[in-house]
Structure 1
Amino acid sequence: MLALGLVAVSVQAQQADVRAAKRALTEYQVDPNASKAKLKEAVAAILPDPSGEDVSDPAFYVLKGEILNLLATQIVTVKQTGFGSLEELPQVDRVAVKAFNALTTAVEKHAQAINSPAYLLSDALNGIQEAQAHLYNFGIYAFEVQDYGSTYLNFSSALAAHEILKKEGRFSVLDDALDLMDHKYVTGMAALKNDMPEAARPLFEDLYRVKYDKAAVYEALYTINASGEDADLETAYQYLKAGREKYPGEVSLMFAEINHFLKQNRLDELIDKLKTTITREPDNLTLYLTLGSVYDNLYQRESSAGNSEQADKYFDQAFTYYSQSLEKDPTNFDALYSTGTLYYNRAASLTMTLSEMSGDFSAAGRGQFEAMEAEVFAAFDKALPYFQRAEQINPNSVETLTALKEIYARKNEPETSKALDQRLENLQHGGTYETSFFNE
């Protein structure tokens, strides 16, 4: 008997909350300006889900959705008109999503109930139509502050609302096919920005199937399939290839393809891609630097394999493209540093050969050693001005200072090498420089 009494009290308490919510809602609707506190009372009363018998009552969830929709309307009004204060309103996180979830639950409870009146389903669907508009607005608000998780949650809920409304033969703001595709697109982009590739996948796959006219769809599908533990680069590239064929002038797809070949170390194939892209983007310094880097990598590969003739050809090509980027922008740090590194690596490679020759003490051997040594110093000398100019542009580059320190040490200028080493140590311990060593 005591247990039954406790259950009865619990149900009555919950029912009292529902009555309080209805009463507060009615009083607020009569005079919303004079009774803002009543809206707070109504929200506070319906936020806990019911217990006992009311847990299956769709009426409660319709009421909850109605109150939260009302709060969402007030928030949108303040944001759009600038009148009133958001601080005066009840503070409910993701209010539009909670309104939609409550009304969705009402539809589910109505379907499960035996004698639930038809007007409850109609009220719930009306509420979902209202919530759908709020979901879009709150998704936009979240996007504006780069809260992509909330953006996705609101936009995806609006899509779910569309499915429910269509099933019940109701109007949806996404009835127009193009509007629906646009909404799927922004929802998918929000998912990607929030690092949710699997949530984005079905949205972009739908857009791909209906040939939605945006190049970003192909890039998104490439990114989704090329990422993660289950990356499928072959499938990813098929999407990228289709996008390149459909949008041959789209720069973002060009760079995605370039990065694809770079990641796979397919450097020979990449060269033609880059040259083609340069003809379309002749002022894009990144393309020249990338192509120079590709030739630089090929030079190092052939040099390591002992193919000196082919290595020299690749070296010259790398220098040519680095130089072209410097012709367009003589102060480009990356171009200066890359050119210096090209010569520096050549000198380092020759130094290894020089070390192997050091054991030959014959006259011919000494002659070859001295000739190679001169070539090493010549390469370091050619690297030096590029690193100096790079350091003048960015005096806080650890890599540049390291190279300069080593070059001056090899040139037998210990004071300069030591001074550069001191600057390097300062950077490595968190220090910074406003002026260049070579401008002091």
Structure 2
Amino acid sequence: MRKLIFMFFTVVLAVGVISAQDDLSGLTGKKAIKKANRAFNTFKLNQTNGGDDLKEARRVIDYVVKQDDTKEDPKTWVLMGDIYNGFSSFNQAQKVLNPDWENIEPNGGMVAFQAYKKALELEAGNKNALDGLSQIIGSISTAGLDAYEAGDYMGAFNSFRSILDIHDLLKENGAASPLDAEEEYDNQLYITGLAAMSAGQNATAKPFIQKLYDKQYDKPAVYDAMYKLTIDDDVDAAEDVLTKGREKYPDDLGLLFSEINHYLKLEKIEILEEKLKFAIEKEPENPSLYSTLGNVYDKLYQTNYKEGKTEEADKYFNLSKKYYEDAIKIKPDYTDAIYSVGALYYNKAAIVTEEMNALASDYSKEGTEKYNMKKAEVESLFSEALPYFKKVEKLDPNDRNTLIALKEIFARNNDFDTSNEFKMRLEKVESGETIEKSYFQ
């Protein structure tokens, strides 16, 4: 008897599974929607079967929304929203149990949003649709954050923007929204604009950031973002944004660095000196700040030297070298700063070489003495530069500019074998090859 009972349940179970996958063609929407409801209710009672009942509910509701007798019924679309939102909550629960869980219907929240929206188009103020919209904000937000962390910035933007659209829809229908608090709404505007910027869609991002900027939203990142969204179209307007941001948040490093980069691009050297010194006070262990200030003094040195202001030029030369070396003290393998010290000497040697060559035709005793003095200075400057270029070559044997400098210095020292070695290495690098081993190791 037990065997017969077991066989009976086995047959019933098998029939149940087969009927769950019935061909729906020929069924009216009203009959099919009952099947969708049954499958969805079964899922809500038991979520341990991998979501099979939910998948069945989805299969049926996708059929129901296309049928003439149900497609204009708001209840149809509310059920569709509930079913697809079920995927969002189911996936989130499974992720807690298994971090490697692969989402089923990853766009469930977005499909649910469109379904609830359709229900409201058919019946304004539909309470179940409005409740559903309020509930899916959390799942869509989670999906957006997951997309952002995965580097899918446009996917994140679409999710975040939908949350703003849901808020607007709730307010149009007189319902409460999770974004009713001004702080929550403003934060949603910000992360939506940020996602678009991260996707490289500045034109899309600007309206969201503009709203926050216009209302003087209390967040320095908004001023930084607005500056970046404006700089390509209007330099003066962008600078005005930056100035306002710096006045409001004088200690914010993000704005400070944007300001430094802004003046670097415009080559406003005198302004940069002050800004960089302030930045160094804020981040004394940041080697790039010292190196950048060294570069500023390097430019001031070159400008003053060309103008014949020798004393000022020497002052800036020494300051440049000091700040480059300060950067190297913080980061001993900082090739940019190491190279820059070598280049400082190398470029000065090149200028003095021009002065030396101008004396080559003066065969007077005084002219010869000046020529020899300049020649000695050139040799000394190249000798000062050489150790820095050697160190860079040890750290990065594929640096093109370093190879050029080494080739020239050894040629000037009449060491043509070594010069030719660096010439060959340079040719390899320029042809796309990679040099595996440093010459000076």
Same fold (TM over 0.5): yes
How is 1:341-380 mapped onto 2 (pairs within 5 angstroms)? 341-380=343-382
Residue 156 of structure 2 corresponds to residue 151 of structure 1: yes
Match of 1:64 in 2: 80
1:199 to 199, 204, 209: 204
Contact residue 260 and residue 276 of structure 2 kept, 8 A = yes
Give 2:150's aligned amino acid.
V
How is 1:251-270 mapped onto 2 (pairs within 5 angstroms)? 251-270=253-272
Match of 1:414 in 2: 416
Contact residue 30 and residue 70 of structure 2 kept, 8 A = no
Q: Please state whether the residue corresponding to 2:176 is helix, strand or coil.
A: coil
For residues 43 and 30 of structure 1, do their structure 2 counterparts lie closer, same or farther at Cα, with a shift above 3 Å needed? closer
Farther off after superposition, 420-429 or 191-200 = 420-429
Inter-partner Cα distance in structure 2 for 1:18 and 1:82 = 38
Residue 83 of structure 1, CA deviation: 9.5
Contact residue 14 and residue 51 of structure 1 kept, 8 A = no
Give 2:222's aligned amino acid.
V
Inter-partner Cα distance in structure 1 for 2:282 and 2:298 = 23
Q: Please state whether the residue corresponding to 1:353 is helix, strand or coil.
A: helix
Inter-partner Cα distance in structure 2 for 1:57 and 1:361 = 104
Inter-partner Cα distance in structure 1 for 2:26 and 2:242 = 56
Inter-partner Cα distance in structure 2 for 1:135 and 1:434 = 49
Contact residue 353 and residue 378 of structure 2 kept, 8 A = yes
Match of 2:4 in 1: none
For residues 83 and 149 of structure 1, do their structure 2 counterparts lie closer, same or farther at Cα, with a shift above 3 Å needed? closer
Match of 2:221 in 1: 216
Inter-partner Cα distance in structure 2 for 1:178 and 1:322 = 44
Match of 1:312 in 2: 314
Residue 140 of structure 2 corresponds to residue 135 of structure 1: yes
Give 1:80's aligned amino acid.
V
Residue 183 of structure 2 corresponds to residue 178 of structure 1: yes
How is 1:19-58 mapped onto 2 (pairs within 5 angstroms)? 20=32, 22-31=34-43, 32-33=46-47, 36-46=51-61, 50=66, 58=74
Residue 89 of structure 2 corresponds to residue 73 of structure 1: yes
2:393 to 388, 391, 398: 391
**Residues 233-270 of structure 1 deviation map (CA, whole Å, 9 limit, x = unaligned):** 22222222222222222222211110010111111221
**Residues 254-303 of structure 1 deviation map (CA, whole Å, 9 limit, x = unaligned):** 11110010111111221122122223333322221111101112223344
How is 1:98-109 mapped onto 2 (pairs within 5 angstroms)? 98-109=111-122
Gaps of 5+ in 1: 1-11, 112-117
For residues 26 and 337 of structure 1, do their structure 2 counterparts lie closer, same or farther at Cα, with a shift above 3 Å needed? same
Contact residue 62 and residue 123 of structure 1 kept, 8 A = yes
Inter-partner Cα distance in structure 1 for 2:50 and 2:366 = 103
Match of 2:245 in 1: 243
TM-score by length of 2: 0.83
For residues 215 and 15 of structure 1, do their structure 2 counterparts lie closer, same or farther at Cα, with a shift above 3 Å needed? farther
For residues 423 and 59 of structure 1, do their structure 2 counterparts lie closer, same or farther at Cα, with a shift above 3 Å needed? same
Residue 286 of structure 2 corresponds to residue 284 of structure 1: yes
Match of 1:425 in 2: 427
Residue 305 of structure 1, CA deviation: 4.7
Give 1:141's aligned amino acid.
D
Inter-partner Cα distance in structure 2 for 1:15 and 1:238 = 66
Aligned length: 414
Inter-partner Cα distance in structure 1 for 2:130 and 2:199 = 30
Give 1:64's aligned amino acid.
M
Inter-partner Cα distance in structure 1 for 2:27 and 2:201 = 41
**Residues 151-188 of structure 1 deviation map (CA, whole Å, 9 limit, x = unaligned):** 11111111211121122222222222222223322222
TM-score by length of 1: 0.83
Gaps of 5+ in 2: 1-23
Q: Please state whether the residue corresponding to 1:437 is helix, strand or coil.
A: coil
Residue 21 of structure 1, CA deviation: 5.4
Give 1:108's aligned amino acid.
E
For residues 144 and 240 of structure 1, do their structure 2 counterparts lie closer, same or farther at Cα, with a shift above 3 Å needed? same
Contact residue 133 and residue 173 of structure 1 kept, 8 A = no
